[in-house]
Chains A and B, each alone.
Chain A
Amino acid sequence: MDPLKSYFGRLLQEEISPMIMVRTTPLAEDACQKNGLNFVELLLPFSSFTKLNVPVRTANDQPYRIQLFKLRLAYACDIHLQNDEVAEEHLKQVVLDANQNILPHLTSEPPELQNLLKSRPRGYIYSWAIISSSDEKKTVLFRLNPIIAPSFGCEDRSNLTSCDFLSFPMESDLCPSWIETFNKELIRTVSFSEHETFDHPVACLFVVSSKDEQPINRFVDLLNTDQFPPLLNDGVMDPKILKHYLVLHDRQDGSPDKVSNILAEMRSTFGSNCKFLCINSAEARSDDGKDVPWMPYGSHILHRDNTARLLSREDINGVRDFMQDLSSNYIIPHMEQKIRILNQQVAATRRGFRNQIKNLWWRKGKEDAPESPDGPTYTFSSIESQIRVLADYAFMLRDYELALSNYRLLSTDYKLDKAWKRYAGVQEMTGLCSFMLDQSRKDSDYCMETAFTTYLKIGSSSQRNASRCGLWWAEMLKARGQYKDAANIYFRISNEEPSLHAAVMLEQASYCYLLSIPPMLRKYGFHLVLSGNRYYISDQRHHAIRAYRNALFVYRENGWSYISDHVHYNVGRWYSFIGVLDLAIKHMLEVLACSHQSLATQNVFLNEFFHVVQSMGKKFEVYNLRLPVINMASLKVFYEDFRTYASPSDVHVSENLWQSLEEELVPSATTSRSNWLDSQMKSSSRRNNDSAVCVVGEAVVVELEFQNPLQVAVPISEISLICSSSLNTPPPDGDFESPYNSDSSFMLSKLDVILETGETKRVEHLKLGIQLEVCPKMEGLLKITGVRWTLSDTVIGYRHFEFDMKGKQKKGRRDLSSLSTNLEFLVIKGLPKLEACIQHLPKKIFTGDLRPLLLELRNQSEFSVKNIKMKISHPRYLIPGNIEELNMDFPKYSENLESAVIKEAPATVIPNTKSFLFSFPDDAKVQGRACLTWPLWFHAGLTGKISLYVSIYYEVESCSNNMTYRILRMHHDLEILPSIDVSFNITPCKSSLHEFFVQMDIVNKTKSDSFSLHQLSSVGNMWEISALPTTLYICPVQTLLAGQALSCFFKLKDCRKNSSNEEHLSGCDLLMVSQDNKEVIDVSKSPMVEFHQFERHHQVKSSKMEAWAWKHSCFISLLHMKIYSEGLSANLTYSLFFLRYDDLLFFLTFLKGSGMLPVSVDSTSLPTVLPSLAEHFLKLFPSSIPSQSTLHIAPQLMVKLWGDLGKVDFILISKMAKTDPVIEPVERPKLLTNHTCHISISSNSPISWQMSGSRMINHDFSASFCEVGFHLRVQNCSDSVVSIRLVTYDVMPGRKHSEMAKLSDSSGNGSGWNDISLVNDIKVVSSVQGNRPKKLSMESQFPFIWCALSSTKLDLQPLSSSEIPLKICLFTPGTYDLSNYELHWELNPPERITGDLKTCTSGTVYGHPFYLTAIQLQH
């Protein structure tokens, strides 16, 4: 573009223009003042000419025309360098003036990017946003801005005509106009400097009023050089300047006739440069009419009432003509002439080779001169000054070529002279000339740079010159579209200026960044902030706010936290300074959640905020207050409709669990309509079904998490919900909702908390779950809309619950699809509500603990409830008792009083389901405000953690609502600790068919508690416990210390034959205490017997698995081994039998996967594969088998004896031995019962037998040998047919011995109940040395022979017995061991288990010792 037409070009043409010095007489001034103007002001509007059209001829012979021209006017007294303070004040006033205009803008919304760039067409912003590669950038730029496009190398303008993006924001759109004024004023502060001549007056205008007496003398007075500015007198400029004389005539003083006389006189005295001007010819008007002819020109002067009142149109035209005449006929010709004269002089002295050499030589000689900061002084007559004048005049007359050549000439001279200030000034002008000539940018930039840095180098005296240079430079760059560079220049200026000026400069820099292509928004923001900061430092708060506010949009909603905190905090603070408190608070709110700041800063922020709020003087409501942080995702709503809860923790239990528990309890919903008429009825209630139902007087609880992000503790008070309610009374016309006074229709809970600091950095310290309640008091619709709180007693924050994430955040009692409906409640009429608690239920209980509990049902309402039912999830642990048991003293009550009639056990309790339904008797009603207590029995069956769920169903009497029943839900978590672990092993006794030996292993598994064993009972009347004959009590000690293990042995007798087949639950008890407390506890009484039933039921499964395990003992013991090696306890391996069937499969699958198992296994093939697996495992792990499990390594058969009848149940009753002070008396268990059920009698043969016959005979051997008859009673204990072959030996075969020895060796070194075999029993019980035949006695002699059959074979039906007659012959008296017989048995198992255990279905057993003593009969 043409630089002359750019803003900067015009600016230069205006600013660097001929200066006219004005001198007036006071009377002349008076005449002007009647119009409220001084003389300069009067002329000023006519001093610039847009269409002067004057031909000009300077040094060149070619004339050219000047269109645009301007004269500057100044009083002589003003032509001097400005004082610094005055200049500062003047500039400050400019800023302050602007202050007035911006205040209204500050209270409005801050500008947006779109507004800032509003002059750009719509597509513009989008376009620069997609610029990515540099090539692309060029094309887009070209489309956008043809003015600056060439600078990027795009010269093709062909497609520009159709382009829509031609409009481009001008700086004036963004930059406040006062900044322009400020710049001009700043530049003017360095006017009339010595080193530059363009400010030096070209001409002098002398003005005398026609009223003055002796006007000629007045002119002479004015010509007195004493009054002239120092520039002329100091010899800096030529005192011989063009003089122009003017007589000013005031029409009011009379006709201008006499003026002509004066004019003639003047002409004769001063020559032709005399003019005459008439003013004040108009009538004085009182109205301030619009037809004041001055109006179009007076815009630059503040309008006053009397401004230009007296100026008529003719006057104005006269002034204009005068000025035009002055410039075109006097000033310009004068300058032309001067240029020509000076040019000749310069050409004579400086042009040409000779002059150059001379000049250099001459200057070289001056090098030794001392260096002063301004360089040597130059008078107006020195050649340097003359060149400067020449160049400046040429510049002012637009002959830039001439000016440039002279500036260049001059710059070398000044440089050599080290006259730096002048050098800089010349460089500056060189740069401007280059710009005006549109020459290379590099040159002009270089010159400006040199000038700028040189000025700065000189020091503070020319700092302002540097600023001016910088401003021009920046303008120059802006004119060329180099906004980014211009911004840099402004930034450089700002470093040199006092803060206020710097602020203005920085602000301009920021606009430059905005205008650059593409806009550099971040730079824009940053520089605005810098500028605002400077404004603040220089006490210009309005401007500071304006700058910061403009920057806000740059920093909105991004992660640059420190930045946005700084901006918002300061804007807020400054707003509070200027008293705009609401906006101050608005911005302060943004910084409240400043968790990233340091503690001190947080304190400052908070205090400032509270200070502002307090000065506001009232409580402030803020939507979405940032402090504290509310975790909306944590929102949970709890309410009670027909489902009520005993304690808040019960709510968290999954609804499905409750529903499955309550299946039988709750009447099934009658959703199916009987006929089409019903649909009409239902539709009305369906509406209500959409929203949740709650009951009048029952609180709805909302749980919400509050979080303090700061390190400062924050007090929060009056946290409450925001609710709205409407009365729901369906009127006949169907209008449902009517607004209702919300104050009385519900009640809100209020909560005060102090959110602690986050110093510890632990999350749980920061968060605080808060439960808020709303309690409806009227029927209708209740809606929870939000939450409100008061921060530090000053600010009320509120927040609405937002439901954009439907169904995601909801975890309430009912998972509805949308939360919005969940927060809407239909409030129905008050209903009775039962409250329940189970008293004395401890959290930690020992296994086996049996205790009475009390269920307390309390009805708080007026209405009574009926038809109460209860469902318990784990009847193994908790059962309801009878009402009679309420006042009984436990455990005394259970003790078997002699008078008590043994009650036949009610076999009605059949625990077939997992849960247990109990109906309270019909007469059990809970009246209003009454209380019902009911006994419960608790028995801790199994170790571990357990959750007990209890649902209590009740119906509402006299109910008018849809809701006819309610459910009370209770939930308790218990931990059951291990106490006493009991295990039994029963083996047949060899001496009797009906007696069995029992080994009872007791382990106290507690860490510190001791138990005293009280009683052992076998359940049922089939068995009788008796102590072994050698001991009085079966148990050697009564108190079992912590960790102690104990084995007891006793005898069990089968009494089935004595009684009927009917099963009793009375039992046989064996007291284990020896001292005082001898009361026997009756296990057939109420709680005990029920619990036993449940235990039996639960242990059935385990016993089945156990049976299975016996059959595959080999394999199972390998499993034992495996688990032992992983460090688990034996108890767990035991539980593996019945709990971990699937784990077993998994284990096998794992082995298969790792290549250790040849076959694949699933649940159906497992039984068939197992035997071969057992062998396989034996091969696999021969060496790693620990000693604990050696017994079962040898494949052998363990037969389940007696079938189902052979199951024995034991109850071990013990008591807590010592009073442990840690446990509260209530929590102490009174009685512990261990139920062990379904214990099978185990043996390694399916048969048992007993020899019977006389033990002693008297016989006269001298007479004959003796024949003795015996019976061998063989019993089949298994549930399958066994065929038995009895073989008697006179001589014991030798091979049998070794086999038998091997067998007993392998089983001899075991430990634990698994190892207890018959061998050990006998060892312990009696002194008989095993079942091994006495070799010595047998091998030395054969004292008897078996008569009759040597082999008998018979089949035995399951559980039957038969007798085999035997007979021996004795020949001598003595004692005989009749044990040398063998019983071969073969099992014919039922069809279902054939095939898999072929190898194990037969065996051989050896005879028990039976001693016969024959005595010689003495005659």
Chain B
Amino acid sequence: MAGTACFIIVSKNDIPIYEAEVGSAAKKEEASQQHQFILHAALDIVEDLAWTTNAMFLKAVDKFNDLSVSVYVTAGHTRFMLLHDSRNEDGIKSFFQEVQELYIKILLNPLYLPSARIASSHFDTKVRALARKYL
């Protein structure tokens, strides 16, 4: 399991709809805002990269000091972004794919408005379980 891992889902209009610190490292007060900054800035890179490839998994697109940002772009241009300090690319890919499954289930909920914040605790638990499994 990664020391630091911050997972975030960004809707197609660039608003975070789900955030989770899934790393095992003790959370620092400063960390959450720093992670947001890095991930937010990485969106610029994603914008560039997303249109150059057919792949959904963009691998590590950006890094800041020793933290890398791996991104997975769904067909609806929702971006799964993971800030991590590990180098486990396969695990991250599997993690993203499984999360997409979950995300699709959320989308299938007729009461969920696309691009709204994901408040489902079930989703949260599942994502954290996946993070433990793959990261």
Contact = CB atoms under 8 A, between A and B. Distances in A.
Interface of A: 132-134, 513, 518, 520-523, 525-527, 529, 555, 558-563, 565-566, 598, 600-601
B32 interface: yes
Given A562-B33, A565-B33, A526 B38 contact: yes
16 contacts: A134-B51, A134-B52, A520-B45, A522-B40, A522-B41, A522-B42, A523-B41, A523-B44, A559-B17, A559-B117, A560-B40, A562-B33, A562-B35, A563-B36, A565-B33, A566-B33
A559 to B, nearest CB: 4
B44 A522 contact: yes
Given A513-B44, A559-B17, A600-B29, 13 more contacts: A132-B51, A133-B51, A134-B51, A134-B52, A518-B47, A521-B44, A522-B44, A523-B41, A526-B38, A529-B37, A559-B15, A560-B40, A598-B29
A131 to B, nearest CB: 9
Interface in B68-94: none
B23 interface: no
B130 to A, nearest CB: 23
Contacts of A518: 47
A317 B33 CA distance: 61
Contacts of B42: 522
Interface in B19-43: 29, 32-33, 35-38, 40-43
A563 B44 contact: no
Contacts of A525: 40-41
B32 A562 contact: yes
A559 B44 contact: no
- 5 closest A-B pairs by CB: A526-B41, A559-B15, A520-B44, A562-B33, A566-B33
A518 B51 CA distance: 14
Contacts of A566: 33, 37
Contacts of B47: 518
Q: Which of A525, A560, A600 has most chain B Cβ within 10 Å?
A: A560
A450 B75 CA distance: 41
Contacts of B15: 558-560
B16 A559 contact: yes
Nearest to B50: A132
Contacts of A562: 32-33, 35-36
Contacts of A601: 29
Contacts of A527: 41
Given A132-B51, A133-B51, A601-B29, A563 B37 contact: yes
Interface residues of B, number: 21
Contacts of A520: 44-45
A600 B32 CA distance: 14
Contact of B40 (A563, A598, A600): A563
A565 B32 CA distance: 11
A231 B36 CA distance: 52
Contacts of B35: 562
Max chain A C-beta neighbours (<10 A), residue from B14, B35, B44, B51:
B44
B16 A560 contact: yes
A526 B37 contact: yes
Contacts of B16: 559-560
Contacts of A555: 40
A676 B49 CA distance: 77
Contacts of A559: 15-17, 117
Contacts of A600: 29
Contacts of A521: 44
Max chain B C-beta neighbours (<10 A), residue from A133, A513, A555, A563: A563
A601 B17 CA distance: 22
Contacts of A598: 29
B35 to A, nearest CB: 8
A35 B7 CA distance: 67
A562 B38 CA distance: 12
A558 B33 contact: no
A520 B33 CA distance: 20
A561 B33 CA distance: 8
B17 to A, nearest CB: 7
A520 B15 CA distance: 17
Contacts of B117: 559
A264 B47 CA distance: 75
From A522, A529, A566, residue with most partner B Cβ within 10 Å: A522
A593 B96 CA distance: 32
Contacts of B40: 522, 525-526, 555, 560, 563
A134 B45 CA distance: 13
B68 to A, nearest CB: 15
Nearest to A601: B29
Contacts of B14: 558
A1311 to B, nearest CB: 52
B19 to A, nearest CB: 9
A555 to B, nearest CB: 8
Among A513, A527, A559, A598: residue with most chain B CB under 10 A: A559
Interface in B42-61: 42-45, 47, 51-52
A565 B34 CA distance: 12
A761 to B, nearest CB: 12
Nearest to B37: A526
Contacts of B44: 513, 520-523
B78 to A, nearest CB: 13
Contacts of B36: 560-563
A563 B8 CA distance: 14
A79 B43 CA distance: 48
Contacts of B32: 562
Contacts of B41: 522-523, 525-527
A627 to B, nearest CB: 20
Nearest to B16: A559
